[in-house]
Each structure stands twice: as C-alpha cells, then as structure tokens.
C-alpha cells in the first residue's frame, strides 16, 4: 500500500496505519521481554491481576523488571523507588526534546503523550520529525498505543506461562532487552557525533557497572551527550 510521505496530505487513517507498520518490528522484538516480565511477576508471588496491572499502569519494561526482581528479594520500598527512578530518568530527556511540540496542547493530551512515551515511541517520532520536518501528534500517540497493547498482550502471555512453567527465566529471554535497544539505536547512527555519543555512552556504562556505580545510567547518558556535542561543535568549527 502506497502511503504519502507528506503529512499535510495524509489522512488520519493512513497516519495510524503508517505508525502501526513502523512500530510492529519493535513490538515483535520486545515481546520476549514482556513475556519475561509477566512470568517473573508470577514466580515472585504476585497474583495474575497484580502482574497485569504492572504493565497496564507502569508500562516501563526496564523499570518493571528491576522492581519485580527487587520485590522478589524482599527489600523495602525505598530501593525499589530509587532504582526505578534512576532507570526511568532518561524519559526526562525525551520529554525535553518534545516539549516545544506539545507545550500548547491541552493538559489531557499532554498527559496522554507522557504516559505512552517510551524509548520506541521516542525513536520513531524523532525519525518522523526528521523525515517530514514536522511533528504529528496522531502518529506519535498511535505508535505508543499500539506498543502499549502489544506489551500488555506479551505480559499476559508471560503470566500464563509463569503459572505453568518453572525456571522460565533460564531461557535467557532478558536478551530481548538488549536486542530492543540495539534495534532502536543502530538506525539513528547517521553521522560522527551520534556515533561518538553512542560509543561513549556504551563504554562509560560498562566501566561504571564494573565498579558498581549506582548512577551509571545517568552518568553514561551525560557523557554521551557531551561527547556528541563537542564532536559536532568541532565539526562546525572545521567547516567554518
């Protein structure tokens, strides 16, 4: 089906269809991750309803896995809140990127956008903006909703599996986490600043994790941003 690339002449139905097609590969990649979240929630003692509500209300894969793992060890709520906050802090950067596009929208639409804002939605919406030179709320929210539905379906499958299969985590489905982020990051590497930023972030987080630094994610993000910024700045100076 030929879908026009100009957002000004594209019907809402075609925008939704385009968004669904674009997000589908990432939905497939994250499915094992969702199954793992659901099954682990059951194995640590949560009810099926509680496990499903985690995906319905939290909707954050990495944070859900971290929270589920910590709940399984019987720790207090303080480490759970601090860990999930650090893991989810990257969304502050995502929000800063889109702030200029949604600041004039109504509060309900902004809240809806914030809830569905994930790594996958951020990547696809950013690519859409780069391609069309404009922001499309319907496209962004459609990718988020489709991903939300698939994530919860995967979680439900994990709940069913978790009730019937033991040691499900031994299958190594946690690799889906890395695979999903690789699928998001690799297509965005289109120039030297982005490449330097990705390499710097990756190397930094690996080194900091070896030293068990609590805020390795935040530190590696900042280091990657600075490396990319100064690389781009140096390139502009050379051009001038």
Per-residue pLDDT of 149-159, as tens digits, reads: 999 999 999 89
Task: For residues 65 and 86, give the distance between their C-alpha atoms in angstroms, rounded to a whole number.
Answer: 13
Q: What pLDDT band is residue 60 in, cutting at 50, 70 and 90?
A: confident
Q: What pLDDT band is residue 240 in, cutting at 50, 70 and 90?
A: low
DSSP string, 46-80: --HHHHHHIIIII--HHHHHHHHHHHHHT--HHHH
Per-residue pLDDT of 1-46, as tens digits, reads: 333 444 555 789 999 999 999 999 888 888 888 888 888 888 888 8
Task: For residues 141 and 104, give the distance between their C-alpha atoms in angstroms, rounded to a whole number.
Answer: 16
pTM: 0.76
Predicted local confidence at residue 180, as pLDDT = 67
Strand, coil or helix: 240: coil
């Amino acid at each position: 089906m030929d879908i026009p690339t100009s957002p000004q002449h594209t019907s809402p139905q075609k925008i939704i269809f385009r968004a669904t097609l674009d997000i589908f590969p990432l939905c497939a990649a994250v499915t094992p991750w969702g199954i793992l979240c659901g099954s682990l929630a059951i194995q640590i003692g949560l009810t099926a309803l509680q496990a499903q509500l985690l995906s319905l209300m939290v909707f954050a894969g990495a944070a859900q896995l971290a929270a589920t793992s910590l709940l399984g060890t019987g720790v207090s709520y303080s480490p759970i809140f601090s860990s999930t906050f650090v893991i989810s802090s990257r969304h502050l950067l995502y929000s800063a990127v889109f702030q200029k596009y949604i600041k004039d929208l109504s509060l309900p639409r902004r809240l809806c956008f914030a809830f569905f804002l994930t790594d996958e939605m951020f990547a696809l919406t950013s690519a859409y903006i780069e391609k069309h030179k404009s922001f499309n709320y319907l496209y962004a929210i459609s990718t988020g909703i489709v991903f939300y539905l698939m994530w919860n379906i995967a979680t439900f499958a994990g709940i069913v599996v978790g009730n019937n299969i033991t040691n499900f985590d031994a299958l190594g489905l946690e690799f889906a986490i890395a695979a999903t982020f690789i699928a998001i990051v690799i297509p965005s590497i289109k120039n030297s600043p982005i490449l330097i930023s990705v390499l710097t972030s990756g190397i930094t987080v690996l080194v900091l994790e070896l030293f068990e630094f609590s805020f390795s994610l935040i530190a590696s993000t900042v280091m990657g941003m600075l490396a990319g910024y100064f690389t781009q700045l140096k390139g502009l100076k050379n051009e001038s």
